[in-house]
């Protein structure tokens, strides 16, 4: 048996890499990890965590406005973006430290530098060469921006978290998670937001009703949301008031803005890792191709998280890292299911979803039963806010199993997380109906929807 410096070498100390390293070390493996940028990866530094903190800040505006209906007089208010960013940065620095300590306490050797594969078991780590029995690629992803004239003037989510001030006018390009979330953030913090999406309806992949409802909520809030529109050219302008951008759009209009944020997807970070040299097969997207055990085309080299072509969500990467470490070093024959992975878009209002969309369910099961409910949340009967909560269940009529739970409304992520357990357990509509609601909540609607939704065309037949 050859002896290596380490049993496992992890490249990338993001959510997935850190979990795999820690668990492998706990199983007794000799583990090293290399990280050239920041501990905690995208989620901790330029993703989930700072995003959610900014969403809280944006929500404050609603809270101030809504308070009047409950008898409060809220005095003059000012908002200091630099204060928010400084506080956010402090919290992120704390979390970076937590991640590093977790690794050290688990006995993982840390290299704060880039690691590159030389062969299947050998890596160049800074100016050192080390060997490892197994290598795990957990390098995540990076924002991808299409080629467009004036591309050098745009920012991505990476930079949006460190802007010197909140822009007065923002153009957001894209219709996915990040675009919708930042539209809510900037709008809540007082910017005039224009969001453009190249297709007919944003949030592709989500349930059609959720997409439509969300579009209505965005428009109702005052976000200038436009579909079937793309950027033609971005031109920088310098005026007395400072730098701005004139963005020519495909609908023949020009948006005059202070910031152009592209949220047009993320690509796997696979460049410069030596993957091609050692023969690790990549998909056309650049993603590392892995089998069910996360092994790449090269034995003993594994990959998890956003660098692969699976679901790009932090908890998925963490699960993958944990299960992989158990399989490799804990002698556990564990597998991970990608069914019923819940997710939330932290838009304002947020979206929560688990299971199949109506369209996916129809494609898989043929006929499905649908239950929908749209209502004004109790809070807004006094606040006066014009916001509707929307809930939807998709049910297999043959087995009565609930296939999908979807929601737009306050705390949708918190609510749907609980229902994800029910779906994981194969809950039926009858079991939903037999569950007593908590009154008065929005979530209780999920267990009180008795009237099946019948489209008008069907009803007329
Ligand atoms: P998404 O893949 O969610 O969305 C990308 C958007 O950009 C889509 O609307 C896409 O349009 C559009 N787009 C892609 N290419 C172009 C182009 N060339 N020109 C114009 N528009 C384009 O990516 P995000 O960047 O929003 O997020 C990346 C991933 O990170 C997400 O998929 C998600 O998995 C994860 N994430 C999760 C969050 C959460 O859990 N809350 C939050 C943020 C990110 P089209 O639909 O037509 O392809």
In a domain, 335, yes or no: no
* Residue 350 beta carbon below 6 angstroms from any ligand 1 atom: no
Nearest CA to ligand 1 atom 42: 177
Q: Is the domain of 221 the same as that of 360? A: no
Q: Is the domain of 275 the same as that of 376? A: no
Q: Is the domain of 250 the same as that of 289? A: no
Minimum-distance ligand 1 atom for the alpha carbon of 313: 34
At 309, the pLDDT band (50, 70, 90 cuts) reads confident
Give phi and psi for 169, each to the nearest 5: -135, 130
Q: Is the domain of 135 the same as that of 185? A: no
In a domain, 308, yes or no: yes
Q: Are residues 59 and 51 in contact, defined by beta-carbon separation less than 8 angstroms?
A: no
CA–CA separation, 104 vs 139, rounded Å?
20
In a domain, 243, yes or no: yes
At 458, the pLDDT band (50, 70, 90 cuts) reads low
Q: Is the domain of 65 the same as that of 174? A: no
What is the tally of structural domains in the chain?
3
State in Å: Cα 96 to ligand 1 middle: 26
User: What CATH number does the domain containing 401 carry?
Assistant: 3.30.390.30
Q: Is the domain of 260 the same as that of 271? A: no
* Residue 432 beta carbon below 6 angstroms from any ligand 1 atom: no
Q: Are residues 184 and 274 in contact, defined by beta-carbon separation less than 8 angstroms?
A: no
Nearest CA to ligand 1 atom 47: 199
In a domain, 1, yes or no: no
Average pLDDT over residues 85-98: 98
Last residue of a domain, one of 241, 264, 287: 264
* Pocket mutation for ligand 1, best pick of 174, 184, 231, 420 (most atoms within 8 Å of C-beta): 174
Last residue of a domain, one of 247, 264, 281: 264
Alpha-carbon distances of 444 from 82, 401, 419, 439, rounded to whole Å: 40, 19, 11, 7
In a domain, 106, yes or no: yes
In a domain, 324, yes or no: yes
CA–CA separation, 132 vs 278, rounded Å?
14
User: What CATH number does the domain containing 197 carry?
Assistant: 3.50.50.60
Q: Is the domain of 176 the same as that of 277? A: no
Minimum-distance ligand 1 atom for the alpha carbon of 178: 26
Q: Is the domain of 277 the same as that of 183? A: no
pLDDT in tens, 142-178: 999 999 999 999 999 999 999 999 999 999 999 999 9
The active-site residue out of 27, 369, 380, 439 is: 439
Average pLDDT over residues 398-419: 98
Sheet holding 192-197, edge to edge: 224-227, 192-197, 169-173, 259-262
Q: Are residues 222 and 187 in contact, defined by beta-carbon separation less than 8 angstroms?
A: yes
- Nearest residue to 218 (alpha-carbon basis) of 229, 208, 228, 226: 226
Reduced to 3 states, what is the DSSP secondary structure of residue 354? strand
- Where helices occur in 171-241 by DSSP H, the ranges are 177-188, 208-221
Domain limits for position 21? 6-143+267-329
Alpha-carbon distances of 203 from 157, 296, 317, 436, rounded to whole Å: 17, 31, 22, 32
Q: Is the domain of 57 the same as that of 127? A: yes
DSSP string, 256-303: EESEEEE---EEE--TTSSHHHHT--B-TTSPBP--TT-B-SSTTEEE
Q: Is the domain of 185 the same as that of 134? A: no
pLDDT in tens, 34-57: 999 999 999 999 999 999 999 999
- Nearest residue to 60 (alpha-carbon basis) of 348, 258, 259, 346: 348
Q: Is the domain of 247 the same as that of 220? A: yes
In a domain, 458, yes or no: no
In a domain, 363, yes or no: yes
Minimum-distance ligand 1 atom for the alpha carbon of 157: 25
Q: Are residues 437 and 391 in contact, defined by beta-carbon separation less than 8 angstroms?
A: no
Last residue of a domain, one of 302, 329, 356: 329
Is 439 an annotated catalytic residue? yes
**Residue 440, burial from CB neighbour count under 10 angstroms (0-12, 13-18, 19+):** exposed
pLDDT in tens, 422-448: 999 999 999 999 999 999 999 999 999
pLDDT in tens, 232-278: 999 999 988 889 999 999 999 999 999 999 999 999 999 999 999 99
Half-sphere exposure at residue 69, Cβ-oriented, CA atoms within 13 angstroms = 13
CA–CA separation, 1 vs 367, rounded Å?
57
Q: Is the domain of 367 the same as that of 325? A: no
Nearest CA to ligand 1 atom 32: 312
């Amino acid at each position: 048996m050859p002896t290596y410096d380490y049993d496992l070498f992890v490249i990338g100390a993001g959510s997935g890499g850190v979990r795999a390293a820690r668990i492998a070390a706990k199983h007794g493996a000799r583990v090293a990890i290399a990280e050239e940028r920041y501990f905690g990866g995208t989620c901790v530094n330029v993703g989930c965590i700072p995003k959610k903190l900014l969403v809280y800040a944006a929500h404050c505006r609603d809270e101030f406005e809504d308070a009047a209906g409950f008898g409060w007089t809220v005095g003059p208010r000012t908002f200091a973006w630099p204060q928010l960013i400084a506080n956010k940065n402090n919290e992120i620095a704390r979390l970076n430290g937590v991640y590093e300590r977790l690794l050290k306490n688990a006995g993982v050797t840390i290299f704060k530098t880039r690691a590159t594969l030389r062969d299947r078991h050998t890596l160049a780590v800074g100016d050192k060469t080390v060997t490892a029995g197994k290598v795990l690629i957990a390098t995540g992803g990076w924002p991808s921006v299409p080629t467009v004239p004036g591309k050098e003037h745009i920012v991505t989510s990476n930079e949006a978290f460190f802007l010197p001030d909140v822009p007065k006018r923002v153009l957001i390009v894209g219709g996915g998670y990040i675009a919708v979330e930042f539209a809510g953030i900037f709008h809540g913090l007082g910017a005039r937001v224009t969001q453009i999406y190249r297709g007919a309806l944003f949030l592709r992949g989500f349930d059609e009703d959720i997409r439509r409802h969300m579009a209505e909520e965005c428009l109702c809030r005052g976000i200038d949301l436009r579909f079937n529109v793309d950027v033609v050219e971005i031109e920088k302008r310098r005026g007395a008031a400072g730098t701005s951008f004139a963005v020519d759009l495909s609908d023949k209009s020009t948006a005059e803005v202070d910031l152009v944020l592209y949220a047009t997807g993320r690509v796997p970070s696979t460049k410069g890792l030596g993957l091609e040299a050692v023969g690790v097969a990549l998909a056309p997207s650049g993603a590392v191709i892995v089998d069910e055990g996360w092994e790449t085309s090269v034995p003993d080299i594994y990959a998890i998280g956003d660098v692969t072509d699976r679901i790009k969500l932090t908890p998925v990467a963490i699960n993958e890292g944990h299960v992989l470490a158990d399989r490799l070093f804990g002698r556990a024959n564990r597998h991970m299911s990608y069914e019923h992975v819940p997710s939330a878009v932290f838009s304002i209002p947020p979206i929560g979803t688990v299971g199949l969309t109506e369209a996916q369910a129809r494609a898989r099961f043929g006929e499905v039963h649908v239950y929908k409910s749209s209502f004004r949340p109790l809070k807004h009967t006094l606040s006066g806010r014009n916001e509707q909560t929307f809930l939807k269940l998709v049910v297999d009529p043959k087995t009565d199993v609930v296939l999908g739970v979807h929601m737009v409304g306050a705390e949708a992520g918190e609510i749907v997380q609980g229902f994800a357990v029910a779906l994981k357990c194969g809950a039926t509509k009858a079991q939903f109906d037999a569950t007593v609601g908590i009154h008065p909540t929005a979530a209780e609607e999920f267990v009180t929807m008795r009237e099946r939704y019948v489209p008008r065309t069907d009803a007329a037949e």
